[in-house]
Amino acid sequence: MKQTGFIYGGDYNPEQWLDTPEILKQDIEYMKAAHINEVTLGVFSWSALEPQEGVYEFKWLRNIIDNLYENGISVILSTPSGARPKWLADSYPEVLRVNADRTNNLFGGRHNHCYTSPVYREAIYKIDRKLSEQFGNHPAVTIWHISNELGGDCHCPLCQKAFRQWIEKKYGTIEALNKAWNTAFWSHTYPSFEQVESPSPRGEQELHGLNLDWKRFVTDQTADFVSWEKKAIWEGGSELPVTINMMYDYKGLNYHKFKDLIDFASWDSYPTWHKEEEKETALDTALQHDFMRSILKKPFLLMESCPTATNWQSVSKLKRPGMLGAASLQAVAHGADSVQYFQIRQSRGASEKFHGAVIDHYGGMDTRVFEEVTGVGSQLLELSEIAGSTVRARAAILHDCESRWAMEDSQGPRNKDLHYMDVLKKIFHGLRKLGLDVDILDMEEELKGYDLVFAPMLYMFRCDIETKIRNFVAKGGTFVMTYWSGIVNENDLCHLGGTPHQLMEVFGLRSTELDALYEGERNSGKSTGAFFEKEKRYECRNFCNLIRTDSAETLLSFETDFYEGYPAFARNSYEKGKAYYICADFEESFYDDLCLKLVEEKGLLKVPFDIPEGVAVTSRENPLKKFLFIQNFRKDKFLVNLRNTEWKLLMGDDTGVIGQYGTAVYWTVNQEERA
């Protein structure tokens, strides 16, 4: 079933309604009324598909899929490994997880399986392969969705053994491991690989090298499990594309390590709309969309979102009229090729029974939510030609999962809170407010192709990022880095001889000390006039980095404390480019002003109007056309004037007025591609 345009649908659990066929029938009528063209099936269906070991029941699912197909609705089919049947856990307790405290789990919950267990792998292989054989070539089925929201870890003996093999493969000799983890500290030298155990609150917790390698192992083992499921699907005869559904700012896995395994990135987005001002929530969500899109740098899927209030937040608000449209189209504006909900029909019982759904317990179409869902369906039809187009960013931010793991695990200058994501967001917001599309990169990637790259708190240097940064600047790039960067190597061992490691020449300075500030404490940086306007001042908190400049020029200097007069912001020219070093956690306006100056300098401004706070400007393009999304997350309406420009209206009001939660889309010919 070849789809054109956007995928519109969501999770659907007919196995909960098999004894009410009239409801199943009605569901399809409702989907069609709402322009829904897809459902995701099978996410938690293992018990229904294999009610006893080796006894399969595919008929009900075939009926459902056939019916959907006949009604023009495609299927994303999920493997059922996100939860296992009771009989499997009872017959083979090894499939359940062992926690870090070495207690073993009982049956229950969702993410509760050992991804190493051969028994679990065998069981999942069988059901996945069967699913592939049964439905992998069904014309309705378009994509495989592997497991569900992968995460967590297992400390069972099987996983311990796998971890030991993993570290042996990595280090070769136990001496190399002892050196890399600096185990001489506290006399924790390992006599052999066989004696290494995973971190535990009952044992070793503060050996950062061990913690870090454990997290890497968990990611690798989880990825290996996904490979295994893919193998079962392939061997079942299906070659459809594959995705995994990822989560908001999830730190349990390094998602970048999955990029060779999936054909699409997809994620489940549940912003707390109406908690903060919408413009704040919109910026926060924009960052996640960009993070997910950057993994493969191509269109992603919005695999789950909620048509109205969720049921798991501390306070679950209704989505105000129009909010669903704004949130759905925001995903599209950032590169999504789908809008999908959890879920189509609300379940009657158990823990998500009050989670918002397209069809609620009342069960009628005459609901506010159903009308909004239908409206979004119409808009997606209007925008069909945009599906498949990409986002091309010229600015990027380095966010490296492994560096963050190490930094947040280390006991250092501010255990209370590093405010890492706050700084990253201030940079992201500074760029987004100017309408710039931004990629979020990890350290394994290349910097070429970007004009402007930021590195907030890049604590760890790995993958020879030193050379990449040096070359980037040497060739004319503008690179901005903050305090607490270049401190440790890939094993969290501190670099000797001065930091930022191997980049002191590029930045023209050396970091000497890092002062941490208490919650109420403030300092400020005052402009020397060399970059910002003379006398301009920016407040800072949390961190003040003392540096000794060499060739670098001081742009701001600290105003108080014993380091009054020391540089607080510095710039160095290095070959054809410029390297900026930020010494303190400055307020938002610093980043806004900095981004504006650098973006202007680089000529990256995109639209011929000032973008007020709360208005979001984003773009996608295909070889023929460029598309411009303008979304209004403010209370007041916004008037956009693109008359007498190249931009033509694709969706929105002719007058240029965009109301609260409204979206306008413009297009123009893609001159660059043509040239």
Q: How far apart are CA 542 and CA 585, in angstroms?
A: 6
Q: What is the DSSP letter of 345?
A: B
Q: Compute the least distance from the CB of residue 516 to a copy of itself, in Å.
A: 5
Residues of span 437-476 touching a copy of itself by CB under 8 A: none
Among 63, 67, 227, 316, binds a copy of itself (CB under 8 A): 316
Among 9, 13, 232, 619, binds a copy of itself (CB under 8 A): 13
Separation of CA 349 from chain center: 31
Confirm or reject binding of residue 59 to a copy of itself (CB under 8 A): no
Q: Compute the least distance from the CB of residue 561 to Zn ion, in Å.
A: 49
Q: Compute the least distance from the CB of residue 98 to a copy of itself, in Å.
A: 11
CB-CB contact of 526 with 567 (8 Å): no
CB neighbour list of residue 367: distance below 8 Å, 6 or more residues apart: 360
Confirm or reject binding of residue 298 to a copy of itself (CB under 8 A): no
Confirm or reject binding of residue 103 to a copy of itself (CB under 8 A): yes
Confirm or reject binding of residue 169 to a copy of itself (CB under 8 A): no
In the bound state with Zn ion, the residue whose beta carbon lies nearer, of 114 and 357, is 114
In the bound state with a copy of itself, the residue whose beta carbon lies nearer, of 362 and 643, is 362
- What are the Cα distances from residue 576, in Å, to 399, 468, 478, 582, 595? 25, 15, 9, 20, 20
Name the binding residues for Zn(2+): 114, 154, 156, 159
Among 21, 72, 108, 237, binds a copy of itself (CB under 8 A): 108
CB-CB contact of 377 with 32 (8 Å): no
Q: Compute the least distance from the CB of residue 416 to a copy of itself, in Å.
A: 4
In the bound state with a copy of itself, the residue whose beta carbon lies nearer, of 266 and 499, is 499
CB-CB contact of 146 with 226 (8 Å): yes
Among 21, 203, 237, 241, binds a copy of itself (CB under 8 A): 203
Q: How far apart are CA 121 and CA 621, in angstroms?
A: 42
Among 40, 45, 266, 281, binds a copy of itself (CB under 8 A): 45
In the bound state with Zn ion, the residue whose beta carbon lies nearer, of 116 and 346, is 116
User: Which of these, 316, 301, 469, lies nearest to 398 by C-alpha position?
Assistant: 469
Both tokens assigned to 346: 């609300």
CB-CB contact of 614 with 632 (8 Å): yes
Handedness of CA 131, 133, 135, 136 (dihedral sign): positive
Confirm or reject binding of residue 187 to a copy of itself (CB under 8 A): yes
Q: Compute the least distance from the CB of residue 46 to a copy of itself, in Å.
A: 5
Q: Compute the least distance from the CB of residue 47 to a copy of itself, in Å.
A: 4
Confirm or reject binding of residue 415 to a copy of itself (CB under 8 A): yes
User: At 220, is the secondary structure helix, strand, or coil?
Assistant: helix
Applying CB under 5 A, the residues found at the interface with Zn ion are 114, 116, 154, 156, 158-159
Other C-beta atoms closer than 10 Å to the C-beta of 47 total 17
User: At 154, is the secondary structure helix, strand, or coil?
Assistant: coil
- Which entry of 15, 50, 149, 278 is annotated as an active-site residue? 149
48 binds, among a copy of itself, Zn ion, none (CB under 5 to 8 A by kind): a copy of itself
Confirm or reject binding of residue 22 to a copy of itself (CB under 8 A): no
CB-CB contact of 580 with 571 (8 Å): yes
The secondary element (H helix, E strand) that includes residue 68 is helix 59-70
In the bound state with a copy of itself, the residue whose beta carbon lies nearer, of 355 and 426, is 355
User: Which of these, 162, 291, 293, 285, lies nearest to 222 by C-alpha position?
Assistant: 162
- What are the Cα distances from residue 147, in Å, to 15, 228, 476? 17, 11, 44
In the bound state with a copy of itself, the residue whose beta carbon lies nearer, of 252 and 412, is 412
Strand-pairing partners, residue 111, are none
Task: Give me the helix-helix angle, 401-409 and 420-432, nearest 10°.
Answer: 140
Among 7, 64, 65, 80, binds a copy of itself (CB under 8 A): 80
Residues of span 334-363 touching a copy of itself by CB under 8 A: 346-354, 361-363
In the bound state with a copy of itself, the residue whose beta carbon lies nearer, of 110 and 578, is 110
Residues of span 559-578 touching a copy of itself by CB under 8 A: 561-562
116 binds, among Zn ion, a copy of itself, none (CB under 5 to 8 A by kind): Zn ion
Q: Does the annotation count 276 as an active-site position?
A: no
Q: Does the annotation count 206 as an active-site position?
A: no
575 binds, among a copy of itself, Zn ion, none (CB under 5 to 8 A by kind): none
- For Cα atoms 72, 77, 82, give the angle at the middle one, nearest 5 degrees: 150
Instruction: Number of residues interacting with a copy of itself: please give it, by CB under 8 A.
Output: 108
Which residue type, as a one-letter code, is found at position 393? Answer: A
CB-CB contact of 594 with 587 (8 Å): no
Q: How far apart are CA 568 and CA 137, in angstroms?
A: 61
Q: Compute the least distance from the CB of residue 499 to a copy of itself, in Å.
A: 8
Q: Which residues are catalytic?
A: 149, 304
